[in-house]
A and B are shown apart, each in its own frame.
Chain A
Amino acid sequence: MRRAVIALQAVSFALAIAPAAAVVAPKPTTHTIVIDKMKFGAVPASVRVGDIILWINKDLFRHTATARDKSFHIDLQPKQSGRTRVTKAGAIPFYCVYHPGMKGQLNVAE
């Protein structure tokens, strides 16, 4: 019985803390970048630190999206998608390690 009460208290504490955290940091936005025909598609504007990039590989070929500064890297089979998180501000050039001619750049605000 006592254990159940503690557990309930813990849950309500967790519920109380969640909205407070949301007030401090704005909810991260998910941006999409499509990879197709040996190219990275349009790179979204207004990317902020903490945002998520959803990479959609629509191509016939395996590709990566790899930051030059190694702050993100994702390896995608054909027709596969995946997410990376933006961890720092500034200009972040990225490329595909298998096809180094494929390039793009994120411009990330604080």
Chain B
Amino acid sequence: MISRVSLACAAALLALSGAAMAHGGPHPTDAEIAHIAYTAGQIDIAAGKQALAKSRDKAVRAFAEAMVRDHAAVNDQALALVKKLGVRPAENATSTALSTQAEAKMRSLAALEGAAFDKAYLDNEVAYHRTVNGALKDTLIPAAHNRELKALLETGLTLFREHQLHAEQIAKEQR
């Protein structure tokens, strides 16, 4: 069972990084980048809300609350920025792939309870932030044209790196 879950995780991850590379392409537009970054944030907010509905672990809940709050703060800034710039975020293959994979992940997490859920949630948070951070660093930030969008993505990267470390730390403490 566990190996099946981790295999599914690995497959989802590979698909995600593949999607980020292939469909986002080397030159996504600012409108596409904005949509990818916003979608990535919404996915983690949804994951955090799922954790708050299911987990009873104090550390996991505090972490999930921070995820919901921090990602909402970044996305509020992103919405304000695209409005100011007059950019309309454009859905694209990468953001669609992110959403599809996230829905599948949420379904698999929904089937778990207690410590098994906590572990799977934290493991996914580590893996998810690692993937998103890789895409930000290697693809999205270098491709962003607008200076303010680039700066916001960099703020996001600093924050999400901290989230990844935090998730790794809690996952370690839970073992």
Structural contact, B158 and A38, CB atoms closer than 8 A: yes
- Please measure, in the bound complex, the distance between the C-alpha atom of A100 and the C-alpha atom of B63, giving whole angstroms: 11
Q: Which of B129-168 contact A (CB under 8 A)?
A: 155, 158-159, 161-162, 165-166
Stretch at the interface among B42-50, B70-78, B94-102: B70-78
Kindly list chain A residues whose C-beta atoms are within 8 Å of the C-beta of B66: 98-99
How distant is the Cα of A100 from the Cα of B74 in the complex, in angstroms? 19
Give the residues in chain A near B77, CB-CB below 8 Å: 60
Q: Is B169 an interface residue (CB 8 A)?
A: yes
In the bound assembly, the distance between CA atoms of A100 and B155 in angstroms comes to 17
| B83 interface contact, C-beta 8 A | no
Q: Are B73 and A61 in contact (CB under 8 A)?
A: yes
A84-98 near B? 1/0 per residue, CB < 8 Å: 000000000000011
B69 CB–A CB distance under 8 Å: yes
How many chain-B residues does the 8 Å CB contact rule pick out? 15
A78 to B76 alpha-carbon distance, docked (Å):
13
**Complex CA–CA separation, A14 to B74 (angstroms):** 52
Q: Looking at the assembled complex, report how far the CB atom of A58 sits from the nearest CB atom of chain B, in whole angstroms.
A: 12
User: Chain A at the B interface: mostly helix, strand, loop or mixed?
Assistant: loop
Is A38 in contact with B73, judged by CB distance below 8 angstroms?
A: no
Residue contact A101 to B162, C-beta cutoff 8 Å: yes
Q: Is the CB of B162 within 8 A of A102?
A: yes
Q: A37-B155, A38-B159 are in contact. Are A61 and B69 (CB under 8 A)?
A: yes
Task: State A38–B73 Cα separation when bound (angstroms).
Answer: 13
Measured CB to CB, the residues of A under 8 A from B are: 37-38, 60-62, 78, 97-102
> B: which residues have CB within 8 A of A?
62, 66, 69-70, 73-74, 77, 155, 158-159, 161-162, 165-166, 169
**Can you name 20 A-B pairs with beta carbons within 8 Å?**
A37-B155, A37-B158, A38-B158, A38-B159, A60-B74, A60-B155, A61-B69, A61-B70, A61-B73, A61-B159, A62-B73, A97-B62, A98-B69, A99-B66, A99-B166, A100-B165, A100-B166, A100-B169, A101-B161, A102-B162
